[in-house]
Amino acid sequence: MTSPSSGAGRFAPSPSADLHIGNLRTAVLAWLFARSSGRRFLLRVEDLDDRTSREIGERQLADLAAIGVTSDEPVQWQSDHRDRYERVIDQLVEAGMVYECYCSRKDIAQAPRAPHAPQGAYPGTCRDLTEAERDRRRAEIGRPPALRLRTDTFSYTVTDLLHGEYTGLVDDFVIRRGDGVPAYNLVVVIDDAESGIDQVVRGDDLLSSSPRQAYLARLLGYPEPTYAHVPLVLNADGARLAKRDGAVTLAEIGVQRALRRIADSLGYRATDVEGMLAEFDPARLPKQPWIYRPD
Q: Which residues contribute to the annotated binding site? A: 10-14, 46, 101, 103, 122, 126, 184, 202, 243
| DSSP letter for each residue of 217-234 | HHHTTPPPPEEEEEPPEE
Q: Long-range contacts: 281-284, Cβ < 8 Å, 24+?
A: 282/33, 282/36, 282/161, 282/162, 282/228
Rounded distance between C-alpha atoms, residue 25 and residue 261, angstroms: 9
Give Cβ neighbours of residue 283 (< 8 Å, ≥ 6 apart). none
State the Cα torsion 157-172-214-288 to the nearest 10°.
Answer: -60
146-149/98-101 β-pairing:
antiparallel
DSSP-derived 3-state class of residue 160: strand
Binding-site residues for ATP: 243
Binding-site residues for L-glutamate: 10-14, 46, 184, 202
Q: What does the chain come to in residues?
A: 295
Binding-site residues for Zn(2+): 101, 103, 122, 126
